[in-house]
Every structure is written in C-alpha cells, then in structure tokens.
C-alpha cells in the first residue's frame, strides 16, 4: 500500500527515524494535501482518471523515496528541499526535522507557480 494511503493519506504511518537504521515518518501538511487533491481533480477532469492515477503514483513513489533517502532533494533559499515528480510539472517541497525523525511535505508546487509560498508552513 502507498505510504500515504489511497485516500491521498494526509499522514503516513509513523516509523522510527533513520538514526537507528529505520525510516523517518512522513507527514503531509494540510495545505500540501489540498494542493495534491486539487492537482488530482484537475488532471482527472482534464485528462482522465488514468493520468490522475499516474500523478498519485508519482507522488507516492516520491514519498517512499524521501523516507529512504531524505536528503535527495535540492535545497532552496528557504532551507526547504525540492524533489521534482517525473513526467509532471510538479515538485514535492519538504523539510527534514532537525532530529531526522520526521519529514514534512510542505507543498506540491506546480513549477509555473511562484516559489516560496510555503515558507510559513510548519
């Protein structure tokens, strides 16, 4: 099952942090969950369920990748990290908590939208 569940899983299951060899937990900020819902709805209405499902699959794969390799994303000026989704004009914006125990997805950023709107999200 997807790390975020099939209902776009607002929060991933809790897991111990990497410091003990286990994966950190991954939480999706409510605003990022809304952005994902909006993107999925737009894709479904515009291109059909198959493309919408592919977008969700890419997001789920990114979430899994972030839990196994949290430092994979490039760092922006605010200190957040960015991981582009293959074949879609979106990037997952996230931060790693200081203790390394949790990853927080701050935004699903459309690459044509102005960057940085997620800076105030915790």
Going residue by residue through the chain, which has 122 residues, state the pLDDT in tens, using 9 for 90 and above: 344 544 444 333 333 334 456 789 999 999 999 999 999 999 999 999 999 999 999 999 999 999 999 999 999 888 899 999 999 999 999 999 988 899 999 999 999 998 888 988 88
Q: Are 97 and 80 in contact (CB under 8 A)?
A: no
Angle of helix 49-68 relative to helix 30-47, nearest 10 degrees? 150
Closest CA to 70 of 1, 12, 112: 12
74 part of a folded domain:
yes
- State how many domains the chain has: 1
Closest CA to 28 of 40, 10, 15: 10
Q: Computed from CA positions of residues 69, 72, 75, 76, in that sequence, does the dihedral angle turn out positive or negative?
A: negative
Alpha-carbon gap, residue 31 to 10, rounded angstroms: 10
List the CATH number of the domain containing 58: 3.30.2310.20
Pairing of strands 102-110, 90-96: antiparallel
Q: Are 4 and 60 in contact (CB under 8 A)?
A: yes
Q: Which domain holds residue 101?
A: 23-110
């Amino acid at each position: 099952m997807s790390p975020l569940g099939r209902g776009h899983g607002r929060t991933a299951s809790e897991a111990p942090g990497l410091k003990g060899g286990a994966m950190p937990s991954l939480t999706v900020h409510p605003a990022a969950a809304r952005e994902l819902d909006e993107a999925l709805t737009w894709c479904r209405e515009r291109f059909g369920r198959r493309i919408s499902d592919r977008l969700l699959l890419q997001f789920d794969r990114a979430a899994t990748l972030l839990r196994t390799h949290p430092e994979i994303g490039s760092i922006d000026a605010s200190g957040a990290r960015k991981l582009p989704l293959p074949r879609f004009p979106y990037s997952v914006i996230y931060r790693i908590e200081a203790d390394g125990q949790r990853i927080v997805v701050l935004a699903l950023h459309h690459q044509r939208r102005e960057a940085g709107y997620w800076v105030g999200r915790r």
